[in-house]
Structure 1
Amino acid sequence: MEIIPSPTKIPLTNPTLVTCISVAPDGRDFFVGQAADGQHPALSRWSLPEFSQMQVPQLSRLSAQQDTCHVLTRGKNGLLGVTGISTQRLTLIDLTDDSQSEPVNENVVWANIAEPFLATSGTSTQIQHLESQNIVWRQEPPASRKTSHASLVPIIAFHPNRQEFAVGGSGESSILLISLLDKSPAGVLPEAPERLRWLSFSPKGKYIVAIDAYAKSTVVWETRTRNLHRPEIFGRKADDYWSVAFHPDGEHFAMGMLSGYINLFRLSDGQRISSQRQHIGRVQALAFSLDGSVLLSGGDDGQALAWAVA
């Protein structure tokens, strides 16, 4: 498997940096999040695999003059979750009828949809049921937001089996695993970054990966043993990384660097099997297509690229 050179450039009309990319669970389209520049909105939507532009619902929270998209999260039932850096509010859009709602009545900096749950972090770090909107878990006491950046909040990652979740980035050097069934502790992952930019399980739940908020480390654990995976390769030896995306096979992942490089790793042995550079500046966002044949990337340079993977 490798990333093929000479990617396709997505014809974005907004020239500002690309902050987020999110592929639909059915693989038919993807959203690109950017900074609004006064003339262009912060969201655009593109079809796969044609890369033709699609209509986007109008968002008052991310108007052309107002905000920068900070988080895009997709649900399997047509839900799109969007947060902005400035407004710090979560908008849920039902893409089947373009209806919108704000299910959390407080500041939200980060969000993750994993039906039937919605995880959010900002004023509070919590999980609620999407249909009933009942809070099923809340971090107590709330994590301190006294960091060098107001957007640094705890992050929640759901295991693919929806039987447990991980939460980290609260200012402690560990990540907690918690049972979704009875909300009891299920384990601890050691040597974690104290503040996180990214946290996620691999598609089959074999691994969990965290990126330090300041790009100082990229840590990988094996979920079965709770042990560090390939610490001679990852951890503090894998610094200067800013974005990650798992390949659908769960055994490979792409990592974007501050320098504009995108590296493809095989997780079993930690081998870097491909490296490409097209972006100038940070690779802010990465996402694979549903079949893994395309890797989407976005960066500080305002480019969104589609790389063939073979």
Structure 2
Amino acid sequence: SPRLLAKQLQKVLTRLRDNPQARYGAGNLIDIYAMLGIDLTGYDFSELAIWQTDLSSLRLHAVNLSDSHCQDVVFLNALGAVIQINYHPQGEQIATGDSQGLIKIWRVHDGQIEQTLRGHQAFVTGLAFSADGQWLASVDMERTVKIWQLATGRCEHSQQLPGLYPRAIALGADGQQFAVGGVDGTVELWSWVQGTVERLVGHQGTVRSLCLQATSLWSASYDGTIRQWDITSNAPMQTLMAQGQSVLMISLSADGQTLLSQGSEGAIQIWDTTTGECRQVWSHPESKGGTALLHPQGDCFAITAGACLQLWDTATGQPRQTLLGHHEIISSLAFSPDGQTVVSASQKECAIFWSVETGDRLRTLSGFVNEIWSLAWFPMRTDVKPVQMLSGHTDGYLRIWDAEARSLIREVPAHEGNIFAIAWSPDGQLLATGGGAGQLKLWDAPVQHCLQTQAAHAGILWGLAWRPDGKQLATGGADRLIKLWDTHTWTVVQERPTEKKLPITRLAWSPDGQQLAIASIDFSVHIWDLSTGDYRCIFQGQKSWVLDLAWTADSQTLMLTGDVGNVQFWRRNGGLQAEPFSIGQQVCWSMQLLANGQLLTSSERGLIQLWDLANPEPLATLTGHRGPVAALVLSANQQLVASSSHDGTIRLWDLAAQTCLGVMQSPRPYEGLKIEGLTGVTAEQIQALKLLGAVGES
């Protein structure tokens, strides 16, 4: 029986402790426990030599590793969602940038973290190594650029560049120059040591991607062009016209003779950089919203569609390999300098290394991400204190909480990946959830049974909003489509793309149910008037993604906010208000309008602030979160507010007293793991173990 087998294994464990020369025994024994599915809670693995085992997939609650020595042991790492990944020019390290503002430098051969570079206060959206491998440039969502000296791990330069697109960055060969792209089409070339800048003007749309060579710079834009610039004279050299669509990504072969471009509608084009001729063009519509990257030798390219990675031959246009292993949308790609390996990043699997020749998975760097993107109270009457709440997590689970006891009631496996949106129907009888794989799910009121599953969108489902009468549900996603669903038949009754065919970030119905507000990543907000069919742009920003929308109760005013540090007001009868309301120089993720006219906002930096819209100073600032606060929800009586963060916690706040009533967090993988005297692991790994719940000093 399993009980007798576990007892026998325990005897083996005791003998191993008495024989310190049995170096592989403990690791092999742990592997057996894992294969048998034995719950290791409370097990004693102290004073052992533990060699060559993978603990990254195990829950080690209250396990004792005190005074043990580890060699070639793989642990889980505490991470934010990995957004960017890049290979060091020498091929022995990779860098990852994540949603918590951290940059980690990993050793490729054993998956250990060598350095953690701290300084960003927002998502790290771009990384670039210098060709000599001594410098790393990074940029974040708040448009802060940092230059790091890798030998020391020090940030040698930091500057904020208002108006610049946060993902387009490139670093010169010696690390002394960096290039950044602007939302107005400008490319800026900075010599950060001298503090000088050259501006290259020509694009008519946001510059999305850059490649910097020794004497020239390539830039790609939403205007559908790719430009080459002579950086010695700052003069344009040539302009390539893409296939009638925005250019999202460019990459060069190692010899600079071949360039790949990826269009917003999935067009992949291969260019001869000497002649400017387009040698090949293929349509990959399934890759819209994905990533494409040219191999260093230029003979193949990698392309992603959701969680699928493929390698294609650039001469024949035929697929070479299909690489399956991710369970989340792939966010970034990098080839090793020798071209033998491609590494792909996602939220669930921090990084997977693949053989380009065989397609074999070579290594997985595992990270624990428990960001909470969505939050809701269970439906209650206004005169009753709320009891339960619901949260949607990056691991695909819905978690139900007792808000009074501050405890977890139960977990519900819901989606394959991140749950970005949850919303109750107006009558409180149905719950809608939207996930990273584009699925829409409908649940009964107790959240016991899934009643409907719809393949709603290709890519992330970001936006979810019930029409106030409950007869329709609006969804919007990374596939640039807005869909209206009949909630009786669960069929799509209307569908339309966004105006510029760019992903949707948020949806909000006016309380009277007549107008649907739609925000997308081209910095715009549109209004779809369902009574007339009119669809018009009411806001076109130049610097800012719109991350949240909120209507006033009378349906006359729409409020919008995002990463520019203010709230804009659009009135049905008066249009856009000239002067926005400033909430400071920080990314605003979520907002809630109170019945008394006050406004709650949450920020990238973990702050929650209460505002009187007639006063430029906050009435209160609530602190405690250690990461971006992605969601704010008011209780029905508006006495409490709940906040969820990328730090994996939910906090409950008393608005009147402006105090935190409690913190809720689901158990971490290494909760209570004892590591007193543990050796054979790096200081960075010890820190990661503690972030995942371990206790004790190594």
Identify if the C-alpha distance between structure 1 residues 129 and 217 changes in structure 2 by more than 3 Å, giving closer, same or farther.
Answer: same
Residue of structure 1 aligned with 2:423, choices 112, 118, 123: 112
Q: Matched residues in 2 for 1:167 and 1:272: separation? A: 28
Flag as ranges the 4+ runs of structure 1 deviating above 6 A. Answer: none
Identify if the C-alpha distance between structure 1 residues 244 and 205 changes in structure 2 by more than 3 Å, giving closer, same or farther.
Answer: same
Assess if the C-alpha contact under 8 Å between 1:255 and 1:263 holds in 2. yes
Q: Does 1:299 align with 2:299?
A: no
| 1:260 CA displacement | 0.6
Q: Matched residues in 1 for 2:403 and 2:612: separation? A: 28
Assess if the C-alpha contact under 8 Å between 1:280 and 1:299 holds in 2. no
Give the residue type in structure 2 aligned to 1:130: A
Q: Does 1:244 align with 2:557?
A: no
Q: Matched residues in 2 for 1:131 and 1:259: separation? A: 39
Aligned to 2:495: 188
Aligned to 1:155: 463
Q: Matched residues in 1 for 2:543 and 2:445: separation? A: 36
Q: What CA deviation, in whole Å up to 9, does each residue of 1:91-143 have, x standing for no partner?
A: 12254665623334444422222321111122532122224744443223x64
| 1:219 CA displacement | 1.9
Q: Matched residues in 2 for 1:293 and 1:226: separation? A: 31
Q: Matched residues in 1 for 2:469 and 2:404: separation? A: 26
Greater CA drift, 236-245 or 177-186: 236-245
Assess if the C-alpha contact under 8 Å between 2:566 and 2:580 holds in 1. yes
Higher relative contact order (CA 8 A, sep 6+): 1
Aligned length: 237
Aligned to 2:398: 90
Give the residue type in structure 2 aligned to 1:218: V
Identify if the C-alpha distance between structure 1 residues 238 and 136 changes in structure 2 by more than 3 Å, giving closer, same or farther.
Answer: farther
Give the residue type in structure 2 aligned to 1:187: Q
Aligned to 1:286: 591
Q: Matched residues in 1 for 2:579 and 2:524: separation? A: 20
Identify if the C-alpha distance between structure 1 residues 176 and 106 changes in structure 2 by more than 3 Å, giving closer, same or farther.
Answer: closer
| 1:194 CA displacement | 4.2
Q: Matched residues in 2 for 1:134 and 1:195: separation? A: 30
Give the residue type in structure 2 aligned to 1:217: S
TM-score when scaled to structure 2? 0.31
| 1:235 CA displacement | 5.7
Greater CA drift, 92-101 or 241-250: 92-101
Gaps of 5+ in 1: 1-33, 38-64, 146-151
Identify if the C-alpha distance between structure 1 residues 292 and 137 changes in structure 2 by more than 3 Å, giving closer, same or farther.
Answer: farther
Assess if the C-alpha contact under 8 Å between 2:502 and 2:522 holds in 1. no
RMSD, aligned CA: 3.2
Q: Matched residues in 2 for 1:223 and 1:236: separation? A: 24
Q: Matched residues in 1 for 2:516 and 2:391: separation? A: 24
Bigger fraction of residues in helix: 2
Match of 2:412, SS state, is coil
Q: Matched residues in 2 for 1:226 and 1:93: separation? A: 41
Aligned to 2:371: 68
Identify if the C-alpha distance between structure 1 residues 198 and 144 changes in structure 2 by more than 3 Å, giving closer, same or farther.
Answer: same
Gaps of 5+ in 2: 1-98, 103-367, 381-385, 615-698
Assess if the C-alpha contact under 8 Å between 2:481 and 2:504 holds in 1. no
Residue of structure 2 aligned with 1:204, choices 497, 512, 521: 512
Assess if the C-alpha contact under 8 Å between 2:397 and 2:412 holds in 1. no
Q: Matched residues in 1 for 2:369 and 2:478: separation? A: 29
Q: Matched residues in 1 for 2:467 and 2:409: separation? A: 27
Identify if the C-alpha distance between structure 1 residues 74 and 209 changes in structure 2 by more than 3 Å, giving closer, same or farther.
Answer: farther
Give the residue type in structure 2 aligned to 1:102: E
Match of 2:577, SS state, is strand
| Matching of residues 20-59 of structure 1 within 5 Å | none
Give the residue type in structure 2 aligned to 1:301: R
Give the residue type in structure 1 aligned to 2:389: L
TM-score when scaled to structure 1? 0.65
Aligned to 1:165: 473
| 1:297 CA displacement | 1.0
Give the residue type in structure 2 aligned to 1:234: F
Residue of structure 1 aligned with 2:390, choices 64, 81, 98: 81
Larger Rg: 2
| 1:180 CA displacement | 0.8
Q: Matched residues in 1 for 2:543 and 2:483: separation? A: 22
Residue of structure 2 aligned with 1:263, choices 568, 577, 599: 568
| Matching of residues 9-24 of structure 1 within 5 Å | none
Identify if the C-alpha distance between structure 1 residues 228 and 304 changes in structure 2 by more than 3 Å, giving closer, same or farther.
Answer: same
Q: Matched residues in 2 for 1:154 and 1:242: separation? A: 10
Give the residue type in structure 1 aligned to 2:429: P
Aligned to 1:308: 612
